Amino acid sequence: MPGIFYRQSDPDDPPFAEEGDTVEEGDVIGLVEVMKNYHEIQADSAGTVTAFLVENEGEITADQPIAELE
């Protein structure tokens, strides 16, 4: 089922992660909203965020990559 990707929990809050940030496995890097339910998206490994592949508030489908880690 498609959803909407959010890089921050509230429009006034800073993003969970930015390109160039170092993240640990399990760190929250975004949220996906599906039918008014929000699901945390966690980094699947430690590394540096090199790119977000989905724009903030962009539509996303199941199993679509969200970010690249180096």
CATH number of the domain that residue 46 is part of: 2.40.50.100
**Exposed e or buried b per residue across 33-70, where buried means at least 16 C-beta atoms within 10 angstroms of its C-beta:** eeeeeeeebebeeebebeebebeeeeebeeeeebbebe
pTM for the model: 0.88
* Structural domain range at position 44: 3-61
Residue 7: exposure state from Cβ atoms within 10 A (0-12, 13-18, ≥19): buried
Answer yes or no: is 17 within a domain: yes
- Write out pLDDT tens, residues 2-32: 999 999 999 999 999 999 999 999 999 999 9
Answer yes or no: is 70 within a domain: no
